[in-house]
Structure 1
Amino acid sequence: MSDESAPAPFEVKRWQTYVPCLHYNWQPNKPFVVTAVVGARAEVWDPTGGQRMGGHRWVALRNLHATNKTGQGKERRTGWYLHCEPPADPVRQELCGSCFTWKDREQFGVLAHGFGHSTCVPCKAEIEKRYGR
């Protein structure tokens, strides 16, 4: 007999986006995209760069979580949590480089060449509101 209320097991997949649970000086605090899962590690890519534009690094799978809450409902202090699942249609969807969300190409205010460098309409409006046109 199966328990229908049990949550589905969490699986790290290629093209998922993650954001940090909390920000610390010693922890890279930028969102990233999973590009590969190998054993107990995930290769991740940061489209916003850092020292190098589009930097790759490895993260242990134990540091990636389905939510920013623990099983007891407390906020996690370390690691990253799932922000967005992989694109449903990789041909029609693009990654917004501002909010790290996969959206249909028609939902972008700026479409740039290069994965993760486009800006969706809501993010573009926020940027224009904050910094002007």
Structure 2
Amino acid sequence: MNTPTRHETTPPFAVKKWQTYVPCSTLHWQPAKPFVVMRVVGDKVEVYDPTGGHRMGGRRWVALRNLHETDRTKAGKQRKTGWRLHCERLLSKHQELCGTCMNWLDPQHFGVLAWGFGHNTCTSCRAEIEARYGKLPTRR
């Protein structure tokens, strides 16, 4: 009896639009920020970083070879470079990105809705922020 290989049991890893990636390893001297995949062109990936760049975020290019499914190598060691898959946008086109935890959520799960892609804050992140820094002001 033949045992199925990994590729026969699960679909192969693919980089797709709306996936969010976080750094595999964070070093103090090497700032690496999470981002969202906007498009894949050959061996390059255009990504959107909601926390930096011009105005309300920035776009840049990343090499496809630097994006990984997990933060572990095939041998099981922790990766020191690159980014790992954090989450994907579900089928709902109405999901928004929480700029704090970088998760895709439905609008009812947000504590703060802001103008601009990736600048919203979900209710759990808002609760954590308020626990640490005090109650956030409300708009009138």
TM-score normalized by the length of structure 2: 0.86
- Between structure 1 and structure 2, the one with the greater Rg is 2
Q: Displacement of 1:8 after TM fit?
A: 2.0
Aligned to 1:62: 65
2:87–2:103 Cα contact (<8 Å) kept: yes
% identical aligned pairs: 61
Equivalence map 1:1-133=2 (5 Å): 3=4, 5-6=6-7, 7-24=10-27, 27-50=30-53, 52-91=55-94, 93-133=95-135
Q: Displacement of 1:28 after TM fit?
A: 4.2
Structure 1 pair 28–45 and aligned structure 2 pair: CA distance change class (3 A):
farther
Distance of 1:50 and 1:126 partners within structure 2: 26
**One-letter code aligned to 1:113:** W
Structure 1 pair 76–17 and aligned structure 2 pair: CA distance change class (3 A):
same
Distance of 1:4 and 1:86 partners within structure 2: 28
Deviations, residues 42-64 of structure 1 (Å, cap 9, x unaligned): 00110011565311110001000
2:98–2:118 Cα contact (<8 Å) kept: yes
Aligned residues: 132
Structure 1 pair 27–40 and aligned structure 2 pair: CA distance change class (3 A):
farther
Q: Which runs of 5+ in 2 are unaligned?
A: 136-140
Distance of 2:118 and 2:80 partners within structure 1: 27
Deviations, residues 13-70 of structure 1 (Å, cap 9, x unaligned): 0110000011235644110001110000100110011565311110001000001111
1:43–1:56 Cα contact (<8 Å) kept: yes
Q: Displacement of 1:74 after TM fit?
A: 1.0
Q: Which runs of 5+ in 1 are unaligned?
A: none
